[in-house]
């Protein structure tokens, strides 16, 4: 989320432009950050939380933290089993009295697909709208082109580990990015050994509960960054992916077997107008406050 430092202008005297809004009418919001970020960084998720709170007076915003402090939250975004993270978040939401009547959810990058797992696995309290900002729903990052902090030893280690054995049991259980690593040249390995993404994408069979819960959403909003250099392929942010067996030609969601067989209910949701595909100019997670105000806020009100 480092991009937000320069992509979003400083909040200044914003409250002077706001009209009144009844607190009771504001639907609570749950936010989940991306890789290498934390719940409350003032230049990323903390900024987004403040922005929403100012724009929607009285709203309750929960920015998900995994761990007892911010350092653990960042570390867990790399190294904690995603299924365990989703279970932890489901527990947090179930015990939060502010959310019992339902909530909207907004995930950034990997937080987008993690929140989709939440709605599929944990229908109580109910998620009303899911907004995925740069979430990679058919997997990422084939080739791992740009890990946050390119000079970081962690990024170098992750890249080498993924290249050597993304689908081994040890790597799957302890490296977050391996759990949504989707190699189009090793589809069978992916379907058999992916412990997270292959499950929530119904690659090994149909879980009717997953399908029913996802279809209960009012809106499933997917934002793709039109100049994304971090996610490969960027169309994964709209649920598209590489055409089977190669890594050059991509196809949109509507041409995938997931859609044609309607394993998640996405075809039915699409026909009902529940799927919203939005494009944002810029690289991964680079957006302006004006774009956020005009494009995203309406789904939270």
CB neighbourhood size of 64 (10 A): 23
Q: Is residue 221 part of a domain?
A: yes
Nearest-angstrom CA–CA distance, 59 and 80: 30
Instruction: Let me know if residue 192 belongs to a domain.
Output: no
Contact 228, 145 (CB under 8 A): no
- Please report the pLDDT score of residue 4 as a whole number: 52
pLDDT per residue of the chain (301 residues) written in tens, 0 to 9: 444 543 444 333 333 344 444 445 799 999 999 999 999 999 999 999 999 999 999 999 999 999 999 999 999 999 999 999 999 999 999 999 999 999 999 999 999 999 999 999 999 999 999 999 999 999 875 555 556 544 456 667 776 777 678 899 989 998 998 999 998 888 999 999 999 999 999 999 999 999 999 999 999 999 999 999 888 899 999 999 998 888 889 999 999 999 999 999 999 999 999 999 999 999 999 999 999 999 999 999 8
What 3-state class would DSSP assign to 143? Answer: coil
pTM of the prediction?
0.87
Instruction: Give burial (CB, 10 Å; 0-12/13-18/19+) of 42.
Output: exposed
- Compute the distance between CA of residue 299 and CA of residue 220 in angstroms, rounded to an integer: 10
159 falls within a domain: no
Give the whole-angstrom CA distance, residue 149 versus residue 135: 19
Classify strands 61-63 and 103-108 as parallel, antiparallel or unpaired. unpaired
- How far is the C-alpha of 203 from the C-alpha of 43, rounded, in Å? 37
Residue-level pLDDT at 152: 59
Rounded distance between C-alpha atoms, residue 71 and residue 93, angstroms:
22
The 10 Å Cβ neighbour count of residue 145 is 15
Specify whether the CB–CB gap between 78 and 158 falls below 8 A.
Answer: yes
Q: How many Å from the N-terminal Cα to the C-terminal Cα in the chain?
A: 24
Predicted confidence at residue 146, as pLDDT, reads: 57
* C-beta separation of 221 from 279 below 8 A: no
- Is residue 114 in a domain? yes
Please check whether residue 136 is in contact with residue 113, taking contact to mean a CB–CB distance below 8 angstroms: yes
Integer CA distances (angstroms), 125 to 28, 98, 121, 203, in order:
11, 10, 11, 26
The residues carrying an active-site annotation are 109, 228, 284
- What is d(CA 192, CA 196) in angstroms, rounded to the nearest whole number? 11
Strands (E), 87-173: 103-108, 127-133
In a domain, 130, yes or no: yes
Predicted pLDDT of residue 141: 59
Q: Say if 21 falls within a structural domain.
A: no
* Structural domain count of the chain: 1
260 is a domain residue: yes
Rounded distance between C-alpha atoms, residue 91 and residue 213, angstroms: 17
Please report whether residue 219 resides in a domain.
Answer: yes
Residue 69's CATH number: 3.40.50.1820
Provide Rg for the chain, Cα atoms. Answer: 18
For residue 259, the enclosing domain spans 29-143+200-299
CA–CA separation, 179 vs 150, rounded Å?
21
């Amino acid at each position: 989320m480092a991009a937000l430092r320069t992509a979003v202008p400083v909040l200044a005297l914003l409250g002077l432009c706001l009209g009144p809004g009844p607190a009771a009418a504001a639907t609570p919001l749950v936010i989940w950050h991306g890789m290498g970020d934390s719940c409350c960084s003032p230049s990323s998720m903390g900024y987004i939380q403040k922005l929403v709170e100012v724009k929607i007076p009285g709203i309750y915003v929960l920015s998900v933290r995994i761990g007892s402090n911010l350092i653990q939250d960042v570390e867990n975004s790399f190294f904690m089993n995603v299924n365990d993270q989703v279970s932890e978040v489901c527990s947090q939401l179930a015990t939060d009295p502010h959310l019992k009547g339902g909530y909207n959810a907004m995930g950034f990058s990997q937080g987008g697909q993690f929140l989709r797992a939440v709605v599929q696995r944990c229908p109580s309290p109910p998620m009303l709208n899911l907004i995925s900002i740069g979430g990679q729903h058919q997997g990422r990052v084939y080739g791992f082109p740009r890990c946050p902090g390119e000079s970081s030893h962690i990024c170098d280690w992750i890249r080498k580990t993924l290249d050597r054995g993304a689908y081994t049991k040890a790597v799957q259980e302890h490296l977050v990015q391996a759990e949504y690593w989707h190699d189009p040249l090793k589809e069978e390995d992916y379907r058999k050994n992916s412990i997270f993404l292959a499950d929530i994408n119904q690659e090994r069979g149909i879980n009717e509960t997953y399908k029913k819960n996802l279809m209960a959403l009012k809106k499933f909003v997917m934002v793709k960054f039109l100049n994304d250099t971090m996610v490969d392929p960027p169309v994964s942010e709209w649920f598209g992916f590489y055409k089977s067996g190669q890594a050059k030609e991509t196809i949109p969601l509507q041409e995938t077997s997931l859609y044609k067989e309607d394993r998640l209910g996405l075809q039915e949701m699409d026909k009902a107008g529940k799927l919203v595909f939005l494009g944002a100019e810029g690289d991964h997670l680079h957006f302006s406050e004006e774009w956020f105000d005009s494009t995203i806020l309406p789904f939270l009100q």
